């Protein structure tokens, strides 16, 4: 048995023990197929006001420019599909933001995995990434065989759908590499047909500047009046393209206690949200990703929904 095989198995077993849904590994290098796509997307201003997407173009496409001597990209998926969802009488929060901020939850698990690798294998250098640096998470996860990129541009997996986070460790260690899987979207256009703002402009292309998630989280200015009545009651993020995807009927609830929501989030109604105070906001979204939009951002979104 080669060392590469042994190390690869050790890492995958530990990832599973830490609660990750799956782990796939790719050879670090330049993402040739992604380069023209990213260039076209930026050229068409589909990043809206997300200027940071224009930075570090070369690093985004080549992890060897992010981590010296990197050899492998270890991609990991962590389920966040909730057991219970909000009451139907409520304005909606994207399921990924129900519990504690995933950045911290996953960073902790990645630190454990990195320490495990160093303890078991020896001097290995690397960096952990959770949506926090110019890394094309979905492209690496697809390259590592963890799923395919669907027409809504999210990673999809036959057995579990798409309600999971993607993270990676980029390390200077040679490992055994996985193979990409095939696309199973077929002729289905459920996500394209259901998008309330027509943000999926063609299969596999999402205009970020028209996406409800962009409006409710990233956009700091006033919400554009031409989209009034089109937000489908989403006050933070949007799950429409995932909710309608046939593959998500295979989603199973996560078993990460830190992703469980505060009971108030599940029971609050539109009337409660219309009258929400800073105090309630801080309690319901303690340590939550919703804090990114701040109390002022959330109340702006709620007001917009109320006027629609």
Residues labelled as active-site residues: 131
Please list, in sequence order, all residues whose beta carbon lies within 8 angstroms of the beta carbon of residue 178, skipping any fewer than 6 positions away: 24, 25, 26, 144, 145, 146
Q: Distance (Å, rounded) from C-alpha 297 to C-alpha 303? A: 10
Please list, in sequence order, all residues whose beta carbon lies within 8 angstroms of the beta carbon of residue 263, skipping any fewer than 6 positions away: none
Please list, in sequence order, all residues whose beta carbon lies within 8 angstroms of the beta carbon of residue 296, skipping any fewer than 6 positions away: none
Q: Distance (Å, rounded) from C-alpha 75 to C-alpha 137? A: 8
Which DSSP string do the residues of 196-252 spell out, in sequence order?
TT--EEETTEE-GGG-HHIIIII--SPPPGGGTT-STTEEE---HHHHT-GGGGG--
Answer yes or no: are the C-beta atoms of 90 and 270 closer than 8 Å.
Answer: yes
Q: Distance (Å, rounded) from C-alpha 205 to C-alpha 138? A: 14
What does the chain come to in residues?
308
Q: Report the sign of the C-alpha dihedral through residues 96, 98, 99, 100, in that order.
A: positive
Among 5, 62, 59, residue whose Cα is nearest residue 33: 62
Q: Tokens 């960073």 identify what position? A: 107
Q: Report the sign of the C-alpha dihedral through residues 85, 91, 93, 98, in that order.
A: negative
CB atoms near residue 225 (< 10 Å) = 9
Residue 64 has phi, psi (to 5 degrees) of -70, -15
């Amino acid at each position: 048995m080669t060392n590469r095989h042994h190390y690869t198995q050790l890492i995958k077993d530990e990832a599973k023990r830490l609660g990750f849904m799956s782990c796939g590994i790719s050879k670090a290098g330049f993402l040739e197929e992604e380069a023209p796509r990213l260039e076209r997307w930026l050229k068409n201003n589909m990043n809206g006001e997300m200027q940071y997407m224009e930075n570090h173009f070369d690093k985004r496409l080549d992890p060897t420019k992010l981590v010296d001597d990197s050899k492998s990209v270890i991609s990991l998926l962590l389920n966040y599909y909730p057991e219970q969802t909000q009451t139907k009488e409520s304005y909606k929060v994207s399921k990924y933001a129900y519990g504690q901020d995933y950045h911290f939850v996953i960073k902790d698990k990645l630190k454990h995995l990195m320490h495990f690798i160093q303890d078991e294998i020896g001097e290995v250098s690397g960096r952990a990434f959770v949506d926090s640096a110019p890394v094309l998470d979905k492209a690496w996860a697809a390259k590592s065989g963890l799923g395919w990129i669907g027409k809504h541009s999210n990673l999809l997996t036959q057995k579990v759908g798409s309600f999971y986070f993607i993270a990676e460790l980029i390390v200077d260690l040679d490992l055994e590499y996985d193979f990409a899987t095939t696309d199973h979207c077929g002729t289905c256009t459920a996500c394209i047909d259901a998008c309330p703002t027509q943000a999926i402009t063609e299969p596999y292309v999402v205009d970020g500047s028209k996406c409800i998630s962009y409006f409710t989280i990233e956009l700091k200015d006033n919400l554009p009046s031409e989209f009034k009545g089109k937000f489908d009651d989403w006050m933070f993020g949007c799950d429409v393209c995932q909710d309608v995807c046939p593959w998500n009927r295979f989603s199973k609830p996560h078993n990460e206690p830190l992703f469980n929501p505060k009971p108030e989030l599940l029971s609050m109604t539109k009337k409660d949200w219309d009258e929400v105070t800073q105090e309630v906001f801080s309690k319901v979204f303690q340590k939550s990703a919703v804090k990114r939009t701040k109390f002022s951002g959330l109340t702006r979104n709620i007001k917009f929904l109320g006027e629609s």
